Structure 1
Amino acid sequence: MTSNYRAVLAFARERAALSSNALGRVSDELAPVLVLACSVIFLCIEVCTLTDAHRQEDGIHSNRRRERVTTSQNGMTRRCRRGRNDQMESRHGIWNRKGRARPVPLRDVDRQLLCERGGNPIRKSAVDTAGQRFITGAIRVGVIDGSQLFSLHALKGHD
């Protein structure tokens, strides 16, 4: 794991833990997206389209854009499983919040892993925007410097 990746991931978790209206807070989904995108080497669109149907005991069977891949071997599983479970826990809290009007989807293929605060599936453009704002914020507070500027996609394979 590179020090940049570790610093960025720790910053994402720290900022997601802030109160909902705090300055500098980031989306709860950002840290799990970083973990899944980097440790499993998924594209952002592949993370955004994951559902409960992709979950397996030994990893995640993804709907890759060019081929089907099961992630499971060589130590990626623990981080992958943690990212997936963190996101499922967050989603469970959103979906079971008192006063939520929409039902929880019954079929696992209809239960998107990533969802917004209202419980609807999150769009790739929302993740892209959150990622850009997050990286800009990380540079502003000195977590990384401007020469280390990267996108979420550029983090692939850096865990």
Structure 2
Amino acid sequence: VDIDWEWPGSNNGLEGNTVDTVNDKNNFRLLLKEFRTQLDAYGATTGKHYTLSAFLPANPSDITAGGWNNPELFTYLDYGNVQGYDFWGGWAPTQTGHQGNLYDDPNDTRPANQRYSVDKAIKQYTNAGIKPSQLGLGLAMYGRGWTGV
């Protein structure tokens, strides 16, 4: 089972999402815990291990809002895949940026909380105590372009 909740506790998710900034973080933790409990119970009857994974945000504010940097979540998850792409796009029509850069651009004049990179995202997780072996990285096989900016 792969969980793709974009993004608990954050208003940066898909348009139309209902966000509960107070309860989403704990509800998400409880959801993962229940999935793990049910998968393990079923696995006890079949003799198999069932994998639980999740699609992880790269934006530091989304990571914090959803509690993704809580090591407890990774006691339920086998692994997570960090979204290493879509850092910029049509949802920010007056700004451009790299699609999925590995490191911050040292010439970027935006505030630090608007400078995204794969390196910064992975460090958010590992600095919180998440094992690198539990992190995968999603990369885009497409590009984005802008006009009139």
TM-score range, shorter chain: under 0.3
TM-score by length of 1: 0.27
Structure number with bigger Rg: 2
Structure number with higher strand proportion: 2
TM-score by length of 2: 0.28
Structure number with higher helix proportion: 1
